[in-house]
Amino acid sequence: MSRYYTRVCNFYFGFKSKALIKKAKSLPLNGNNLISFDEIEIISRKSIKKLSIKKINDLPNPVKKIVKKDIKVITKKKNFKNLNFKTLPKIMGVLNMTPDSFSDGGKYNKNYLAKKRLNYLFNSGANIVDIGGESTRPGSKPISSKIEWNRIKYILNKFSKKNFLSLDTRKSEIMEKGINLGVALINDVSGLNYDKNSIKVLKKYKIPFVLQHSLGNPDVMQNNPKYKNVLLDIYDFFEKKIEYLRMNGINHNNIILDPGIGFGKNLKHNLKLIKNISIYHSLGLPILLGISRKKFIKELSKKNDSSSRVGGTISSSIYAMMQGVQLLRIHDVNEINQSLKVFKELIK
């Protein structure tokens, strides 16, 4: 039998969502009555079938069994350490203390500038801020642990115990140092593939982490990336990786999934992932999407591109919210929060 995947779609929000759930016309996402859906897509590598949730019982028994199992996972309430996903989406601010990151390299690589930026991000409504000391932009080369740590140690020493900080690193040595200073989340863009000891550190401290998909290391990841089906290939990657983590003793569910927009993907791949991002809800873990200032915005807007790409970030952030994405990784926190607040009021 073909492998089938369930993607929930046609979402409702706020009062309308609550009313539809009460009338049994929609189902809550993650047990949250403030966001619900009333349609699904049943996807295989050969076909896509869209139907109302009311038509699930009309499916052939083998497919119906798969879909009902997925729906149970999708609608189950999720508890995540330090993050309450009742109000969506949560915002992860970006603070790169590097001289060469693709968008803001050199802007915050002095301690006083980083401190000022960190305070601004939290005051603008960031729920968490992701601190990075190594650029992983396309074409970038790795740096030593010593250089990376020297860039970020001041901020982590001063603020990790006071604020909800995430640490953007691929190196187990940096992870462990950050955790010991109070970092609350690890964000490894390599999907724990860069450093084999990373899994041991995550197991030892039982700390939440982001599991991101990336096709190879940054220096080569954009060299003609290919997939059979980018949406389903990444779904299979997550499924196998989660199983591998369980086998290696990581049993907690404080894991966030990130499909890695721009990490070994061309424009076609990125668009397919963003448009269909809600397929990953059936894996039962929160979804993070990093679309802020990414190259796909330039490729779509062409002559209307700007260095900030705030407009493209806003539109894709609203779209992600409409797909039930739980966490957005954002540079321009104030502008995105403003756009989301206004949009939520307009759709009430």
CB atoms within 10 A of CB 49: 13
Catalytic residue, chosen from 78, 117, 170, 294, is: 294
Which two tokens mark 122? 């939290």
Inter-residue contact 269 to 294 (CB < 8 Å): no
| DSSP, residue by residue, 121-186 | HHHTT-SEEEEESS--STTPPP--HHHHHHHHHHHHHHHTTTS-EEEE-S-HHHHHHHHHHT--EE
CA distance linking residue 161 with residue 157, whole number of Å: 8
CA distance linking residue 331 with residue 192, whole number of Å: 24
The DSSP 8-state label assigned to residue 292 in this structure reads: T
Which two tokens mark 6? 């369930």
CA distance linking residue 215 with residue 226, whole number of Å: 9
Which two tokens mark 107? 């802007």
Q: In what side-by-side order are the strands of the sheet with 288-289?
A: 255-258, 209-212, 185-188, 165-168, 128-132, 90-96, 327-330, 288-289
CA distances in angstroms from 33 to 6, 75, 84, 267, listed in the order given? 20, 10, 14, 34
Under DSSP, is residue 210 helix (H, G, I), strand (E, B) or coil?
strand
294 is a catalytic site residue: yes
CA distance linking residue 155 with residue 193, whole number of Å: 26
* Amino acid found at 66: I
Peptide bond connecting 208 to the previous residue in cis, omega within 30 degrees of 0: no
CB atoms within 10 A of CB 240: 10
Any idea which residues carry the catalytic annotation? 294, 329
